[in-house]
């Protein structure tokens, strides 16, 4: 039975640390070729820049080849083919499937249909486990440790799948979490209940200034317009937080600003030149981490 990565909980703490170790090795030498002869399908049913292109770059740097689509408008789903049949067909062509889909649970469904390893590249508001691994790699690189950090997540904590996976994964490292959001976009209760059950401390806040100066990681997020059914609700909350350089005068020296990107208005461009901005390096780290995840799930590392 092949191993898939559907939720970050599919990896133990030891497996996460192992993948981060391999990523470091690949960052030092990114030209690897040991997946020569393999074919990996990248099926993106929802838009992406970073995730799709960093997966494709990772596959190429490992010596494998890519098939797939960046959206499903040119697939036979437009003629009525089901998602299930699409997965069955691709399973006959490839050695692994990377997939993103707007509907929660579809990566898990694919893993039940296909004998191939499946990597969830984002399913609705649910999970984005490879983003979490690259976030953790970025935290480790910038802080020197994953342990005992104050991690302040800001923005759309309701629909933002990256904060859900990251909260679960960082819970193994004695964090002090702050969840900063408007009432409409709070961290879902099920994640808070998990923290309580594990005895992990967290605070909820409304104003970004409340915990800005003692955070180690400021994890900014975009309000996920595509998940709203009522655009008036989106308009009400879309610009709740706008981080600008003049707000960073008293932050900790080691503090880094992460963002899964794309950003809209939540980080002003004047922040980009500050020593706290790390989101572009974070996106580049994604390629090394995805090389590591693919290698591990293929049984090559």
Distance of alpha carbon 173 from its chain centroid, rounded? 18
Q: Of residues 261, 277, 293, 297, which one binds ligand CP by CB under 6 A?
A: 261
Q: How many alpha carbons lie under 13 Å from residue 243 in its C-beta half-sphere?
A: 28
Catalytic residue flag (residue 186):
no
Q: Which of residues 12, 36, 49, 196 is near ligand CP by CB under 6 A?
A: 49
One residue of 16, 26, 35, 48 binding ligand CP per CB under 6 A: 48
Residue of 79, 190, 253, 273 with catalytic role:
79
Beta-ladder partners of 154? 180, 220
Closest CA to 107 of 5, 226, 247, 230: 5
The residue to which tokens 């790699």 are assigned = 137
- Among 177-185, 225-233, 239-247, 256-264, which window interacts with ligand CP (CB under 6 A)? 256-264
Number of residues binding to ligand CP, judged by CB under 6 A: 9
Dist. CA 16–CA 137, nearest whole Å: 10
Determine which residue in the list 5, 19, 45, 51 makes contact with ligand CP, applying CB under 6 A. Answer: 51
Catalytic residue among 52, 61, 86, 100: 100
Catalytic (active site) residue 79: yes
**Contact (CB, 8 A) for 187 and 171:** no
Q: Kindly report the number of other CB atoms within 10 A of residue 158's CB atom.
A: 19
> Is position 256 annotated as part of the catalytic site?
no
Q: Can 51 be counted among the known catalytic residues?
A: yes
Is 65 catalytic? The answer is no
Binders of ligand CP among residues 112 to 141 (CB under 6 A) are 122, 131
Residues with a known catalytic role: 50-51, 79, 100, 128
């Amino acid at each position: 039975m092949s191993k898939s990565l559907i939720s970050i909980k599919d990896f133990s703490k030891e497996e996460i640390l192992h993948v981060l170790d391999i990523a470091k090795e690949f960052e030092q030498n990114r030209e690897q070729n040991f997946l020569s002869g393999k074919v990996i399908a990248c099926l993106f049913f929802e838009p992406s820049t970073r995730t799709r292109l960093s997966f494709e770059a990772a596959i190429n740097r490992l010596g494998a080849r890519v098939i797939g689509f960046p959206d499903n408008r040119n697939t036979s789903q437009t003629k009525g083919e089901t998602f299930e049949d699409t997965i069955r067909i691709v399973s006959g062509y490839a050695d692994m499937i990377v997939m993103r889909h707007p509907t929660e649970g579809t990566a898990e469904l694919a893993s039940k249909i296909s004998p191939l390893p499946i990597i969830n590249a984002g399913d609705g508001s649910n999970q984005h486990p490879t983003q979490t691994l690259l976030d953790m790699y970025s935290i480790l690189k910038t802080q020197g440790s994953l342990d005992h950090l104050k991690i302040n997540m800001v923005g759309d904590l309701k629909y933002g799948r990256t904060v859900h996976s990251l909260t679960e994964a960082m819970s193994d490292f004695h964090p002090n979490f702050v969840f900063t959001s408007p009432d409409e976009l709070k961290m879902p209760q099920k994640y808070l209940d998990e923290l309580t059950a594990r005895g992990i401390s967290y605070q909820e806040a409304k104003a970004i200034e409340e915990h800005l100066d003692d955070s180690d990681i400021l994890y900014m997020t975009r309000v996920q317009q595509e998940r709203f059914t009522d655009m008036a609700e989106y308009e009400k909350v879309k610009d709740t937080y706008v981080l600008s350089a003049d707000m960073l005068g008293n932050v900790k020296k080691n503090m880094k600003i992460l963002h899964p990107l794309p950003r809209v208005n939540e980080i002003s461009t004047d922040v980009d030149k500050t020593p706290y901005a790390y989101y572009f390096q974070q996106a580049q780290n994604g390629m090394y981490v995805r090389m590591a995840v693919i290698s591990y799930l293929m049984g090559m590392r």
